[in-house]
Structure 1
């Protein structure tokens, strides 16, 4: 089979794979707090008064760690995104966790809204944890997205999945 004959087959397979990936998602819409996001079909939603958490399925029967990501909404109390980032992330994290380590941080536009983010890790009881935290602000509301994973599993199993879901987060 020549390379040119394989091209239509390759395009077909990519289309099917893309459809399968899309089919693996559900959409959560919170009309009251005015946001929405996509999450993986096998992940479970835990809806609380102040937060929405999306829990990853267990990796195996011995898995005792609950990897997850979630959204919390609070009043911004007149603080800007940058002021809140400095208060919540820069000051609080390093003072809360003795062995806190910042891996990376940055700014980006997330579906039309400015976001500040940080990847960090620390020890929580006996496990090393990696967090990926995004902050967004709109209409005096602060949206905090926190992805939480054991450091051992973060890069290999969860980081890409967390980022894929976070990239679908949209303020309405």
Structure 2
């Protein structure tokens, strides 16, 4: 399916130069002069090689259409992560390379979508938001306002996040899985 490069998101699978690539990071670059472009960091699914590619913002690229199966994350075994199909109870194992973007938000028993191409799992997609507990955060400093400043915190998965100064350890929060940003208390 042809899409405009401005619609590319992290985790998408693209077909570029006859190979399948997983999008790791994207950045919209608007220089002072010239045409805006998309800087895309991608990893080749077959070889694992990374590359950066610049697309003109008016270009189109081929996004691979993937079939989706709803699955439940069971547990991790070293660098392998085990998932179970909720309909057939079949289990699959995926490597940590494939889950690089979702690991900071993945908890056991979480329901996710495993996306496949020709029956081969390629990608795991999380819900738009997840509820996670803040296990550690810096103490609020006197004089900070709730609107302008944030403090560093650590989620139960080990991921770092910036949270408002009024939050304390043990608070459950809603996190945007695409941007990794705090949204609200849960």
More strand by share: 2
| TM-score under structure 1 length normalisation | 0.26
More helix by share: 1
| TM-score under structure 2 length normalisation | 0.25
Higher relative contact order (CA 8 A, sep 6+): 1
